[in-house]
Amino acid sequence: MVTEKNLSVELCGVRLTNPIIPASGTFGFGTEMATLYDLDVLGAISIKGTTREARFGNPTPRIAECNAGLINSVGLQNPGIDKVISTELPKLRACFHNPIIANISGFSIDEYVECCKKIDREEQVAIIEVNVSCPNVHNGGMAFGTSAESAAHVTRAVKAVTTKPVFIKLSPNVTDITSIARACEEAGADGLTLINTLLGMRIDTMRRRPVVANKMGGFSGAAIFPIALRMVYQVANACRIPIIGCGGVSSANDVIEMMMAGATAVQVGAENLRNPFACKELVETLPATMEQLKIENLTDIIGIVK
């Protein structure tokens, strides 16, 4: 018999009943999943990446299957910030009563600032997650998150117009993620989410061309878990702000590993696409895993691996 366990965690004063969060881009705006199960079993939901203008996304095909993962190049398809605020947030709040994390993307500093300023006013939103893996149109198309200076610039600009906790979502496609993490922390970030997808590619050998229309895309899934875990561990030992760990999480033991490495909460991404019930099942199986490992409170294990 499994005794009652304490799964609750806290992110910058925002209490989560458990650390399980569907990652942005893998759970829609949440309402799409509400017919499958009670969403209130989740600690929080990170909604689909939102930009200033509506985006149709990249040309198809956008998905390529891989061993233990997949490549996607969806291209931030979304209805735009105003539609998200007027339609998607109220629809989600009607069926989900725990913290909502708004994921914001942009192609310039001005776009980040405008979107974050607007979403900050929304009572439904508890945390703003800023994705700095988008192309920087003012710097030759390089992603903001691949440069410590650019990532810090976004962080400072967004923090100047927001009152809610801001988590910067970092790209793993860099030489040293800790230098970028520290730059964001010094610029005022309240927390960090890592990692975003790696860059991958598949080729259709019969057709002799890339499977994905964009040629390359974000590689995610169980195969990247060891890389994500390593980066969470490195950043946790380099920074003092809370971390949401993400990348290849597919089991309760993965969640425990992420938290032992330094994550306060854990996002689940590609596994949602393979199994729509993945997050619910993780919440349900966590207590048994905690029992097996003699863990009473999840907060006791955050960052215990040194």
Please report the pLDDT score of residue 15 as a whole number: 98
Q: Which residues contact 139 (CB under 8 A, 6 or more apart)?
A: 147, 150
| Closest to 242 measured CA to CA, from 20, 19, 45, 11 | 11
Question: Which sequence spans correspond to the domains of the chain?
Answer: 9-57+75-199+219-301
Q: What confidence tens digit (pLDDT) does each residue in 138-196 have?
A: 776 668 999 999 999 999 999 999 999 999 999 999 999 999 999 999 999 999 999 99
Catalytic one of 116, 134, 239, 279? 134
Please report the pLDDT score of residue 141 as a whole number: 62
Please report the pLDDT score of residue 140 as a whole number: 65
Peptide bond into 61 cis (omega under 30): yes
| Closest to 84 measured CA to CA, from 44, 40, 116 | 116
Tell me, yes or no, if 134 is annotated catalytic.
yes
Mind spelling out the 3-state secondary structure of 59-95? Answer: CCCCEEEECCEEEECCCCCECCHHHHHHHHHHHHHHH
Please report the pLDDT score of residue 143 as a whole number: 86
Give the DSSP H/E element, type plus range, for residue 292: helix 278-292
Q: Cα–Cα distance between 216 and 163 in angstroms, integer?
A: 37
Please report the pLDDT score of residue 292 as a whole number: 96
Class of domain 9-57+75-199+219-301: alpha beta
Residues of the chain with pLDDT under 50: none
